[in-house]
Amino acid sequence: MLRTLVGSPTFWVTTLCLYVSIGFSVTGVALGLGTFTYPGPGFVPLVFGGLLAVCSILACVLEGRDEKSFPFGTAARKVIVITAVIVLYPLALNWLGAVASMLGVVWGTGWLLGLSGRRAMVLAAVSTVIAYVLFVIILEVPLPRGFVRL
């Protein structure tokens, strides 16, 4: 089984995602972690890098044999989507602003991972409203408005 897994596209995609996660983790440590009560700028990249590493390893080990759906298997598809979200969200955040970025990222991720379009949109709307209320109203933290000013 290990011999067939090493040559499979799932193995190579999850290995690439594992390297991306290592890059996020190393960058997070270099930026400074801070403490749990006052996290530094590197805390979030380290956490997401660790989560991506765990997802990559689990995808490779648990579902490495599922090569019939999607060119790289369903587990690799999920890892690719999560990696793309981690990489593209900061770009969307700077360009579109927080509200539009959250709506788009949550809806797109939900839809790509198998939710119906309507359920993904409801999930995106509810999570965006919760995040907005939590950060803007309760914590009084201004969210990025982006270049487009949506």
**Closest by CA position to 65, among listed 115, 14, 17:** 14
Distance, CA of 49 to CA of 30 (rounded, Å): 13
Per the structure, the complete domain to which residue 33 belongs is given by 1-73
Output the pTM of the full model: 0.52
**82, part of any domain:** no
**117, part of any domain:** yes
Residues 49 and 101 in one domain: no
Question: pLDDT per residue over 54-111, tens digit each?
Answer: 877 777 776 645 555 445 566 667 777 777 777 778 777 778 888 888 888 888 888 8
Three-state DSSP state, 42? coil
Residues 69 and 109 in one domain: no
Question: pLDDT per residue over 15-62, tens digit each?
Answer: 777 888 888 788 888 888 887 788 788 888 888 888 888 877 777 776
C-alpha distances out from residue 46 to 52, 60, 85, 101, Å: 10, 21, 16, 22
**78, part of any domain:** no
Q: How many domains does the chain have?
A: 2
Residues 4 and 67 in one domain: yes
Residues 22 and 65 in one domain: yes
Residues 57 and 101 in one domain: no
